[in-house]
Structure 1
């Protein structure tokens, strides 16, 4: 039995990971971010410490106090918060000073290098979440048209292109025209912006793993809320990279998509 440290952002994936790891016989000690992490995580772990964004020294202290010998990073952090209410401690400032270009991957890798040096290396969480990865094929009742399949394939190609630049993982496409690409604002805001430009609706949202993705962190993720955002914006198709995209609450997601007449697709990379 190992003690795994869980550095948790928002959403359900930290809770799902903790439940799976504990079922496998491991202890889970978590560090949760204020205003991001679901408080329900407390009931799914063996110990929980709350920190503010940027308090890297507090994170390390909590993992060590809990006896963690390895750690994982799961859950979203609202990117714009880095420019509004991050509270970097002295350790956080030292880690940040190592980063020249402050892209998502560079920041995460700097954090991973720091934790490895301190004896709590970041590991790949997907062995505990394999049943949460998107399967290949159409996932609900509704089938895409040939035009939508072509847009989905093109969208995934574009998503991988912006991934190479470490900008984001999501694009909005209609008739082979890119309407929106994800950057700092996140997936939902990207979808809404695409919907504003596609007044007649019927667009495709594609989400893919970045080329050379470090599987330890920042895997693409979707869930029922993604379908709700797509429906509100007037979208028609959500296409994700099969076997690599985390899917939260698949049954509920498919049920909502079926009700909204939205196509869900998993496409092999």
Structure 2
């Protein structure tokens, strides 16, 4: 066994499990956040040092972190001896943004001699975009405006998605995520017609562990919000359930554009 999948929730871990079928791998998850559709071993964040040491002793040389988890709370009383030296860095990371927390976890694995690989390394088809439709000139103007806003906000570690309509910023993704942001836009309020969702990893994010993701639910929520389409950077976004996503685009009339 050479690979461990640290799995969270959502559609990405099951997609990777299918891609890894027939190979030697092991799945683990943070207690309270198990993956869907396959078995996994739970562990506490207070035992992370022991988990990493155990994986290394078992011959694991690569690890992939994939899926959605909430930021865990660290109970100092539950920290084991192997994890104790990591606690100051863990506490500092948990007080910082999500990017800092993930980079710290990556550093722990790398310092133990375990290579961190990306979901797209394990399944390159995750980057395949089912491009549909053609944006109007007004949509392209909104795409470029949203991209500029996304870039400007990237240094603040806020979110991966922006919605713009008629040049006006309607929403910026925060902790609740893209779907919650789009659901809020489905409520009636004075706004320009149409609009686009632009989604991408933040400029300084480590693409091995925190790629932006879209799927059929993204299309469903974007349509319910009255948007005209979705734009993403080519090669920078993971696509879940691409066939269903394509069908949803056709059904709703939304476009999916690569920029």
TM-score band by shorter chain is: 0.7 to 0.9
Greater Cα shift, 205-214 or 220-229? 205-214
- Tell which deviates more after alignment, 231-240 or 217-226: 231-240
TM-score (norm 2): 0.84
How far has the Cα of 1:143 moved from its partner? Answer: 2.6
Partner of 2:4: 5
Structure 2: segments with no counterpart, 5+ residues? none
Matches within 5 A, 1:101-112: 102-112=96-106
Distance 1:72 1:100, change over 3 A: closer
Normalised to the residue count of structure 1, the TM-score between the two structures is 0.81
Q: Does the aligned pair in 2 maintain the 1:8–1:75 contact within 8 Å? A: yes
Cα pair 1:134 1:266 within 8 Å, conserved: no
Q: Is this contact kept in 2: 1:51–1:58, CA < 8 A?
A: no
* Cα distance in 2 between the residues matched to 1:35 and 1:258: 37
Identify which of 171, 184, 200 aligns with 1:208: 200
Written as runs of structure 1 = structure 2, the 5 A alignment for 1:86-97 is 86=73, 88=75, 89-90=78-79, 91=83, 93-97=87-91
Number of matched pairs? 251
Corresponding residue SS for 2:115: coil
1:1-269 residue pairs with structure 2 within 5 A?
3-22=2-21, 26-42=23-39, 48-52=40-44, 56-57=48-49, 59-60=51-52, 63-64=55-56, 66-78=58-70, 82=72, 86=73, 88=75, 89-90=78-79, 91=83, 93-99=87-93, 102-135=96-129, 139-140=131-132, 142-196=133-187, 197=189, 202-267=194-259
- d(CA) in 1 for partners of 2:191 and 2:144? 22
Q: Distance in 1 between matches of 2:193 and 2:55?
A: 47
Quote the Cα distance in structure 2 between the aligned partners of 1:199 and 1:35.
39
**Alignment check: 8 A CA contact 2:9 2:36 kept:** no
Shift of 1:33: 3.5
Q: What secondary structure does 2:236 align onto?
A: coil
Q: Secondary structure at the match of 2:64?
A: strand
Distance 1:183 1:231 in 2: 20
